[in-house]
């Protein structure tokens, strides 16, 4: 788990998900019925996908506090996209600062 956290911090959630998939493909197969949801999560919501895989249990799925972790990671994904737009607002033509 220590190496996984190091990969996550150094290279980001997409690379950490890829490394985890290579290391434990069975977890992905059990957590998701189709390949569509993990692919969409990998592209659009990487933190949420990663958090879902961390809190997912083989017996009950995601339960209790795990949904709070997934919700916080969804907020992290939204913050990542909106923070990039807010930080680059001066590059857009016609943008007036109020």
DSSP codes, the chain: -HHHHHHHHHH-HHHHHHHHHHH-HHHHHHH-SSSHHHHHHHHH-HHHHHHHHHH-BTTTBS-THHHHHHHHHHHHHHHHHHHHHHHTGGGSTT----
* Structural domain boundaries enclosing 15: 2-91
**Does residue 98 register a pLDDT over 60?**
no
What integer pLDDT is reported at residue 15 of this predicted model?
A: 87
Question: In this structure, is residue 98 part of a structural domain?
Answer: no
Percent of the chain with pLDDT over 90: 34
Question: In this structure, is residue 44 part of a structural domain?
Answer: yes
Question: In this structure, is residue 31 part of a structural domain?
Answer: yes
Distance CA 79, CA 10 (A): 19
pLDDT in tens, 49-61: 999 999 999 888 8
What integer pLDDT is reported at residue 75 of this predicted model?
A: 93
**Does residue 42 register a pLDDT over 70?**
yes
Domain count, the chain: 1
| Paired strand residues for 57 | 61
What integer pLDDT is reported at residue 87 of this predicted model?
A: 62
Question: In this structure, is residue 45 part of a structural domain?
Answer: yes
Question: In this structure, is residue 75 part of a structural domain?
Answer: yes
Q: Which residue bears the tokens 């980001």?
A: 12
Question: In this structure, is residue 35 part of a structural domain?
Answer: yes
Question: In this structure, is residue 78 part of a structural domain?
Answer: yes
The pTM of this model reads 0.77
């Amino acid at each position: 788990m220590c190496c996984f956290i190091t990969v996550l911090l150094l290279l980001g959630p997409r690379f950490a998900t890829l490394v985890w998939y290579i290391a434990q493909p069975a977890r992905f197969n059990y957590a998701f019925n189709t390949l569509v949801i993990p692919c969409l999560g990998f592209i659009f919501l990487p933190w949420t996908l990663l958090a879902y895989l961390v809190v997912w249990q083989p017996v009950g799925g995601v339960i209790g506090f795990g949904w709070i972790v997934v919700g916080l990671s969804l907020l992290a994904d939204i913050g990542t996209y909106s923070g990039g737009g807010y930080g680059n607002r001066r590059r857009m033509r016609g943008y007036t600062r109020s």
